[in-house]
Amino acid sequence: MRNQRAVSAVAAVLLSLFVFFSFFPVLIMLLTSVKSRLEISLGIFRLPTDIRWDNYGRAFRKVIPYTGNSLLIAVAVVVGVLIVSSLAAYSLARYRFPGREPIYYSIIALMMVPTVLVLIPMFKMVAALHLLNSYWVVILPQVAGGCVMAVFLLRSFFAGLPEELFESFRIDGAREGTVLRSLVLPLSKPILGTVAVLNFNTSWNDYIWPMVTINKESLKPIVTGIMSFTNDYSSDYGPMMAAYVLASLPLMLVIGFSMRYFVDGLTSGAVKA
């Protein structure tokens, strides 16, 4: 018992160290966000003597118009990915049908295509489809991209669920949709939560594609919209960092929320713990 307490303490210390290093950039981001231009040039680690709270004012005014867009897109993407990939992963994991393996590998192979390669052909296509300057032009490709990894993760998880659970459902004559909805999904909360967080984050931080496809100011997401923080031929980092801080707040909220609801330990169903 004492041994365990000692081990726990050591673990806590090490973990704190790791978290500190992982979070270090966030600290710098916060520090830089209140500095003046001169002080930023004078050194990244220096503590500011000339605190510029108005960086946040400027950032706020720039970020707010775009926040709704980022939120809408990210939520739509998460919902889309969860629905589409759950269906597909369930099918791939629990059914046997002709062509199952080739289909699965074809989907996984999509992860191996460098995205920058696809930029121009994809743009030509969405231009021809008249999707430019709409939310869809950002949502649909993001859902498509997010599903690939999601299917990869979910299929592995679904396949690992023990057979016995399904037996009992099937004996009661449940339809397939019910099995998915009532049995599999509740058990898969941790992995679904992971998928949700991952896709929210990727969608939120996607810069290049929205920059290229959305020119209407009113539709731009945050990371694309917060430009012209330039005062000089290099960027004005103070307000820019403040903008990044503000932009990451919703992200933090979402993570907190999803950690609570989805990854709160496995209390439902017959899963080992």
Partner 1 sequence: MRGTEPRLPLWRSVYRAKHAYAFLLPLIALLAIFSYYPIVMALKMSFYQWKGGNEAIFNGLDNFRELFSDPTFYRSLGNVFRFILFDCTVGVLMPLLVAELLFHLRSARLQYAFRTMFVATITVPSVVVILIWVFLYNPVVGGMNAVVSVLGIGPQLWLGGTSTALGSVILSGFPFINPIYLLIIFAGLQAIPGSLIEASVLEGCGRWRRFLSIDLPLVSGQLKLVFILSVLHAMQSFYKPLIMTGGGPGDATLVPGLYMFQSGFSRNDFGYASTIGFVMLIAMLAITFATNKLVRSEND
Partner 2 sequence: MRAVSVKWVSVSAAVVLGASLLGGCGSSSGNNESASNGADAGSGGKPVSFKIASWAGPGKKDGMDMVINEYKKIKPNVDISFEEVAQTNSDFDVWMAAQLAGNQEPEAVMDFSYDEPYNKYIDKGYKVLEMDPYLDKVSPYTNKPWKESFRDVDLNLMRSTQNGKLNNIATSMVTLKIAYNKDIYDKLGLQVPKTYPELIANLQKIRDAKIGVEPFAGFLKVTSAWDWFARFTAQQTEEQFVPQIDTFLRNDKYGQDEYVKAVDTGVIDVHKPEIKGLYELFKDFTGYWAPGSIAMTSAEARDMWLQGKAAHTFTINIDAKPFAGDTKPPFNWDTFEFPVITKDVAPTSNENPAEFGDLADAFVVMPSAIDEKIQDEIMDFIMFYTSPEIATKLADMNWIIPTAVGVEPNANLQRYLPKYRPQNQIDLNSQAPLGTAARQYVLQQLQRYVLGDVGIDDFLDSVDKNMKDETAKIMKEKGWTKENDYGHKS
Rounded least distance, CB 72 to partner 1, Å: 19
Give yes or no for residue 156 binding partner 1 (CB under 8 A): yes
Q: At what angle do helices 100-109 and 54-94 cross, to 10 degrees?
A: 160
CA dihedral sign, ordered 253, 237, 59, 76: negative
* Among 36, 133, 134, 205, interactor with partner 1 by CB under 8 A: 205
Give yes or no for residue 118 binding partner 1 (CB under 8 A): yes
Residue with tokens 């050591």: 10
Give the span between the Cα atoms of 230 and 55, in whole angstroms.
13
Cβ–Cβ under 8 Å, residues 242 and 56: yes
Residue 215 interacts with, from partner 1, partner 2, none (CB under 5-8 Å by kind) = partner 2
Give yes or no for residue 113 binding partner 1 (CB under 8 A): yes
- Residue of 92, 209, 67 lying closest to 140 (CA atoms): 209
Binding mask 177-216 for partner 2 (x = CB under 8 A): --------xx---------------------x--xxx-xx
Residue 159 interacts with, from partner 2, partner 1, none (CB under 5-8 Å by kind) = partner 1
217 to 246, contacts with partner 1 by CB under 8 A? 223, 237, 241, 244
Binding mask 39-78 for partner 1 (x = CB under 8 A): ----xxx---------------------------------
Rounded least distance, CB 231 to partner 2, Å: 6
Give the span between the Cα atoms of 148 and 115, in whole angstroms.
13
**Where are the extended beta strands (E) located within 80-192?**
none
DSSP single-letter state for residue 235? B
Give yes or no for residue 92 binding partner 1 (CB under 8 A): yes
Give yes or no for residue 176 binding partner 1 (CB under 8 A): yes
Cβ–Cβ under 8 Å, residues 257 and 90: no
